Amino acid sequence: MGTITTKDGTEIYFKDWGTGQPIVFSHGWPLTADAFEDQMFFLVSKGYRCIAHDRRGHGRSSQPWNGNDLDTYADDLAELVGKLNLERAIHVGHSTGGGEVAHYLGRHGTKRVAKAVLMGAIPPLMLKTPNNPAGTPKEAFDQLRAAVLADRSQFWKDLSMPFYGYNRPGAKVSEGVRNSFWLQGMMAGLPASYLCIKAFSETDTTEDLKKIGVPTLILHGDDDQIVPYADSAPLSAKLLKNGTLKSYEGLPHGMCTTHPDIVNADLLAFIKS
């Protein structure tokens, strides 16, 4: 575990486990690097080096007012990669982290990158616009912002249900997982909790996806209630030069935690391919 300090003075916390080819994880909103511990522990045991950072404003990183946007998130990731001097890295991004990875690759290139994985990821664009008529209306994101301001502690508790598919009939609910989600959410500062909503909902990564030439795996559950499947994964796959789409019947947004054995096996197979 360690920190780096970015060019604007923000301290970014990261954990760095193992040795071997580096795998870099970018987490979703409002979580932390801890959201990937199931994947990291598994892959380190297979001989890889796993690195995961807390995005600025989240977890154990600084909580600046400025920089809660995808441009800065991507630049922070580039600074982390540069300061750790990572080569042939495999970047794995979940949800907002998937947008961070796509924007990092589009903005900074793939010189240090071997492969990428987008899981339950926000690209190409979540917001409903004239060019993206199947997207989510802005009013839905306004409701998220209002809930964060009104009582974000209760909101995180409520959000954990659809995030992990625990609101589905017959779902086996883990209160431990829900508590972990709440704890990670409460570690995020209010500026990031609020401002990141605009970042993940309104940033169009279409041009970033078109630039990515490295092999890219897209993993997405078709029962994702946070980032709807039809308006994300298939569209991203079409834009990528070297993309592979794998969908999971009935799996939720938080499938890294609810179904780690399935996700871990597919990650390892792609990494080794």
d(CA 32, CA 13): 10
d(CA 36, CA 94): 9
Q: Reduce the secondary structure of 34-58 to three states and give it as a string.
A: HHHHHHHHHHHCCCCEEEEECCCCC
Q: Is 238 exposed, middle or buried (0-12, 13-18, 19+ CB in 10 A)?
A: exposed
Alpha helices in 188-230 (DSSP H): 190-202, 206-211
d(CA 139, CA 127): 10
Of 80, 56, 101, 53, residue with least CA distance to 214: 101
The token duo for 41 is 């522990």
Burial 126-152 (b: 16+ CB within 10 A, else e): bbbeeebeebbeeeebeebeebbeeeb
- Strands 113-119 and 216-221, bridge-based pairing: parallel
Residue from 224, 231, 232, 236 carrying the catalytic annotation: 224
Is residue 31 helix, strand or coil?
coil
Residue from 26, 62, 95, 180 carrying the catalytic annotation: 95
Whether 222 sits among the annotated catalytic residues: the reply is no
Whether 253 sits among the annotated catalytic residues: the reply is yes
Residue from 27, 58, 220, 253 carrying the catalytic annotation: 253
Read off the DSSP letter of residue 136. Answer: B
Whether 204 sits among the annotated catalytic residues: the reply is no
Amino acid at 188: A
Q: Which residues are the active-site residues?
A: 95, 224, 253
